[in-house]
């Protein structure tokens, strides 16, 4: 299967599931998908994001070897919003290696505090930061403050996510 051609054939859940099924837990095929996701043109990246997100959720172990590349891509100036959204989305579901945690934390704080950032990226960043606060209780207050500041003038969905994550933070032990 040519992943790129299949991605361009049709943008649907059915097609995404077909491609995801073909990739399965094959690291070589996953690497091909990741290369498309990180380096192709706008429309292809956007469509591949759905496949990558679903594959990563279904086979989280597949993402681990590629996490440094994904996190590094967040720091590129020309990052496509679909890449940003899906990388941060994936980070919600998988353990973040210690050597990447500071970079992820910095980016998620940046996204959360940027009122011009998309709602999805800000919501996913919230969840990643709360997850990191479980390991680093010293950031709990900063995460809470950032969420409370970011919730002003936000959408109902964003406020619901903020409420959920703030409750999760309250459950964490004080530092």
- Boundary-marking domain end, from 39, 66, 95: 95
Where does the pLDDT of residue 4 fall: very low under 50, low under 70, confident under 90, or very high at 90 and above? very high
- Boundary-marking domain end, from 40, 64, 95: 95
The structure's pTM equals 0.89
| Residue range 83-97: mean pLDDT, rounded | 92
Is 77 a residue whose pLDDT tops 90? no
Our count of domains for the chain comes to: 2
Q: Are residues 17 and 77 in the same domain?
A: yes
Q: Are residues 83 and 155 in the same domain?
A: no
Contact 113, 146 (CB under 8 A): yes
Q: Are residues 119 and 71 in the same domain?
A: no
Within the chain, residue ranges assigned H as helices are 3-9, 13-23, 27-39, 42-58, 60-63, 67-73, 81-91, 98-113, 119-135, 140-150, 156-171
Q: Are residues 46 and 70 in the same domain?
A: yes
Q: Are residues 87 and 117 in the same domain?
A: no
Q: Are residues 17 and 88 in the same domain?
A: yes
Q: How far apart are CA 173 and CA 60, in angstroms?
A: 28
Secondary structure letter of residue 40 according to DSSP: S
Q: How many whole angstroms from its chain centre is CA 4?
A: 21
**Least reliable range by pLDDT among 36-40, 78-82, 84-88, 134-138:** 78-82
- Boundary-marking domain end, from 72, 95, 118: 95
Q: Are residues 154 and 174 in the same domain?
A: yes
Q: What is the pLDDT of residue 138?
A: 93
Domain carrying residue 50 = 1-95
Where does the pLDDT of residue 167 fall: very low under 50, low under 70, confident under 90, or very high at 90 and above? very high
Is 175 a residue whose pLDDT tops 70? no
Q: How far apart are CA 144 and CA 175, in angstroms?
A: 13
Q: What is the pLDDT of residue 153?
A: 82
Q: Are residues 112 and 157 in the same domain?
A: yes
Q: Are residues 136 and 58 in the same domain?
A: no
Q: Are residues 10 and 76 in the same domain?
A: yes
The tens digit of pLDDT for each residue in 32-64 reads 999 999 889 888 998 998 899 888 888 888 898
Q: Are residues 8 and 74 in the same domain?
A: yes
The tens digit of pLDDT for each residue in 110-164 reads 999 999 999 999 999 999 999 999 999 999 999 999 999 999 889 999 999 999 9
Q: Are residues 101 and 40 in the same domain?
A: no
């Amino acid at each position: 299967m040519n992943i790129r051609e299949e991605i361009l054939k049709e943008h649907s859940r059915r097609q995404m599931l077909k491609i995801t099924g073909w990739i399965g837990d094959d690291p070589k095929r996953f690497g091909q998908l990741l290369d498309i996701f990180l380096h192709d043109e706008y429309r292809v990246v956007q469509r591949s994001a759905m496949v990558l997100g679903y594959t990563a959720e279904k086979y989280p172990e597949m993402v681990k070897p590629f996490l440094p590349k994904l996190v590094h891509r967040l720091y590129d100036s020309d990052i496509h919003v679909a890449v940003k959204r899906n990388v941060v989305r994936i980070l919600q579901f998988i353990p973040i290696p210690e050597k990447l945690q500071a970079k992820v934390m910095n980016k998620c704080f940046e996204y959360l505090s940027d009122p011009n950032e998309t709602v999805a990226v800000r919501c996913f960043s919230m969840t990643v930061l709360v997850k990191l606060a479980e390991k680093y209780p010293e950031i709990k207050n900063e995460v809470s403050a950032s969420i409370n500041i970011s919730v002003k003038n936000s959408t109902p969905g964003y406020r619901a996510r903020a409420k959920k994550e703030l409750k999760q933070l309250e459950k964490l032990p004080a530092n």
